[in-house]
């Protein structure tokens, strides 16, 4: 099915994205789509974002790029820096989005929203990404309203350019998330003007809250402020049960972290779902919060 999908969009990738399949070598391995581009092997992993306020319990998945040299893993920052040095940053961004979208379609049926990171340099310098990616989504009946673009607002200095880029995406139906809020140089005024749909708290906040003191007392207020701005807060970086309890006690509804679900290929989430159905008492069985449950400490 995946290979058929790739062949079906070959012409569209070349016509709309200016991407030659032979250039970035899409291939299928173990039910996931991989790419070989600029000397790197690229693949997708997905980390769940849970919603404790719904019976379904799942908001969606964040897509994460996993590049490697073929011998050892490298960071996404390295990959994009390497592409930038070769004047291929835009192409790598389009390859990564296409890769994530194709693999997202292989997630379990109740996959929820797709969260995608946007490179800060491309956010304000290229204004056609929304249009190009929208076309590819529509080819596969994925509405733009199902895609959330994650933006690091403190990585962009130009307020007007940032606002225009956000409006460009929003006009096409994409949802917007501000990432790493609460880290150094976060700007509450800018948050007000951008009016995002989601605000993802920096992982450092929940770690500090675990140590006690001021941040633990302030966390409920931060959640209230974000909600007052019309956005939904997402608490990231939950790595143990204590942090989970702190997040819930503070009023957190949307949760993400290794303790709840580690990043994994799309096929692995099918296996995890089947394993929990066959043996609900398996190690890492779901935590229950009313009608909500998550599988803790999921690992490969």
Per-residue pLDDT of the chain (300 residues; tens, 9 = 90+): 556 666 656 666 666 555 566 667 778 887 888 999 999 999 999 999 999 998 889 999 999 999 999 889 999 999 999 999 999 988 898 889 889 998 999 999 889 999 999 887 777 665 555 676 787 788 778 899 999 999 886 666 667 778 888 888 898 899 999 998 887 666 778 788 889 999 999 999 999 999 988 899 999 999 999 999 999 999 999 999 999 999 999 999 999 999 999 999 998 997 776 555 544 333 333 454 433 445 443 333
Using CA of residue 109, residue 53, residue 115, residue 11, what is the dihedral sign? positive
Pairwise CA distance, residues 153 & 196, whole Å: 11
pTM of the predicted protein model: 0.87
CATH code for 2-278? 3.20.20.450
Q: Of the candidates 98, 95, 94, which has an alpha carbon nearest to the alpha carbon of residue 140?
A: 98
Q: How far apart are CA 48 and CA 29, in angstroms?
A: 22
Cα 162 to Cα 59, 145, 297: the distances in Å are 26, 20, 37
């Amino acid at each position: 099915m995946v290979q058929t999908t790739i062949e079906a969009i070959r012409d569209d990738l070349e016509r709309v994205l200016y991407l030659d399949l032979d250039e970035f070598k899409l291939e299928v391995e173990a039910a996931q789509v991989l790419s070989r581009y600029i000397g790197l092997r690229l693949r997708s992993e997905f980390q769940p974002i849970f919603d404790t306020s719904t019976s379904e319990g799942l908001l969606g998945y964040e897509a994460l790029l996993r590049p490697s040299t073929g011998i050892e893993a490298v960071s996404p920052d390295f990959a994009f820096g390497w592409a930038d040095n070769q004047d291929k940053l835009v192409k790598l961004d389009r390859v990564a989005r296409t890769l994530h979208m194709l693999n997202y379609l292989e997630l379990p049926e109740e996959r929820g929203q797709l969260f995608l990171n946007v490179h800060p340099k491309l956010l304000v310098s290229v204004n056609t990404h929304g249009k190009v990616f929208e076309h590819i989504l529509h080819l596969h009946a994925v509405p733009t309203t199902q895609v959330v673009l994650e933006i690091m607002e403190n990585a962009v200095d130009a307020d007007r350019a940032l606002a225009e880029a956000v409006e460009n995406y929003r006009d096409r139906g994409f949802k917007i998330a501000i990432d790493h809020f609460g880290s150094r140089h976060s700007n509450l005024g800018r948050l007000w003007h951008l009016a995002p749909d989601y605000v993802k708290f920096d992982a450092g906040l929940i770690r500090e809250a675990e140590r006690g003191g001021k941040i633990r007392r302030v966390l409920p207020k931060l959640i209230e402020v974000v909600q007052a701005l019309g956005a939904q807060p997402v608490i990231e970086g939950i790595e143990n049960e204590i942090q989970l309890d702190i997040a819930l006690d503070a009023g957190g509804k949307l949760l993400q972290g290794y303790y709840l679900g580690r990043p994994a290929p799309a096929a692995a989430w099918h296996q995890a779902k089947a394993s929990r159905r066959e043996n609900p008492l398996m190690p890492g069985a779901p935590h229950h919060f009313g009608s909500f449950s998550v599988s803790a400490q999921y690992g490969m």
